[in-house]
Copies of this chain bind each other. A is one copy, B any other.
Amino acid sequence: MAVTMNDVAKAAGVSLKTVSNVLNNYEFIRPATKQRVEDAIAELGYEANLTARSLRSGKTSMLGLVLSDLSAPYYAELASRLMDAATKHGYRVLVEQSAADSGAELNALQGPFRQLTDGLLFTPLSIGADAIAERAGSKPLVMLGEHIVDPRFDLVTMKNEEAAAALTSHLLAGGRRRIAVIGATAEESTGTAGLRLNGYRAALKKAGIPFDPALIAPGEWRRDAGAAAVAGLLEAGVEFDAVFGLNDVLALGAMHELLIRGVRVPQDVAVAGFDDVDEARFASPSLTTVSPGMDEIAERSMALLLDRIAGRETADAGVHVEAEFQLNIRESAP
């Protein structure tokens, strides 16, 4: 059997409550008593039972993170930072992969996963604001990304439209006129893909260039889908002089397919992405992309969630934060 608080109390010759006081840093405790308790703890090698503490206090010291797929570099990098941040504040993070499946997203919101955590960082991809509001419960919930922009929820996101517009303008300034977009359908205008596409359209409009739906190719946000989308455009005979992958892996997959087919990057076709994952910098050619402010996103979302949990943030309406972005011009689209 493990050592319990009771054992410590006996060894130190005090009551249970006193041990608890010492453990919880209660102020008004006689130094000598405190010392005796600490000695007993050290001697017995006592470690608090977190489950018991959690049952009694209702706090778990765990935070939930819901995202579609941890093996996607953007999410992997984000999760890694969030975990480091959580550790600094005495929390652990429990990750749930939704695979962008609505059932999985709903489950993460109310099932055991929610119960096990004091608050949630949630990247919704399939379910809507009302479905979330219905099940949100009372525990703090901070949205990540831009599928749900709703005054009811806290939200930490990036400047998708502005950044996509800036990137598109950069491609236009480089003389590109037929910029293919990979990772969206021509009709999309909400969610991450939609917002980035809006930015693209806005930049075209500003430059007086008509929007051509033939240039927009859908695809899951993975490398193989990026490659397949470019292959599709090429085989359909669509002409283009640039490719904007709505995220980096899409752009990287597209670039690979172009190079394999003997299309020169950037001479024949410029390629740009979005995310600035580490891989972008080391691709050949290195990838021009948007750095969406991941550090700021990780930091702000964690701070906001912890503030909600601790009751330091009390705004009734959702707090909305937008991280600053930056354009990283590299070889693939100079």
Contacts and interface: CB of A to CB of B under 8 A. Distances in A.
Contacts of A253: 282
A279 interface: yes
Contacts of A76: 70-71, 73, 76
Contact of A115 (B51, B69, B84, B96): B51
A256 B278 contact: no
Nearest to A284: B259
Contact of A286 (B84, B113, B222, B256): B256
Interface stretch (A52-60, A152-160, A188-196): A52-60
A224 B278 CA distance: 9
Contacts of A39: none
A79 interface: yes
Nearest to A97: B83
Interface string A59-96: 01110000001110100110111011001000011111
A47 B115 contact: yes
Number of copies: 2
A9 interface: no
A112 interface: yes
Contacts of A113: 92
Contacts of A103: none
Contact of A94 (B49, B92, B252, B260): B92
Interface string A108-145: 00011101100000000000000000000000000000
A50 interface: yes
A79 B76 CA distance: 10
A250 to B, nearest CB: 11
Nearest to A69: B80
Contact of A223 (B50, B55, B87, B279): B279
Interface in A262-310: 278-279, 281-284, 286
Contact of A55 (B48, B52, B71, B81): B52
A252 B287 CA distance: 14
A95 B83 contact: yes
Contacts of A77: 71
A255 interface: yes
A96 to B, nearest CB: 8
A227 interface: yes
A284 B284 contact: yes
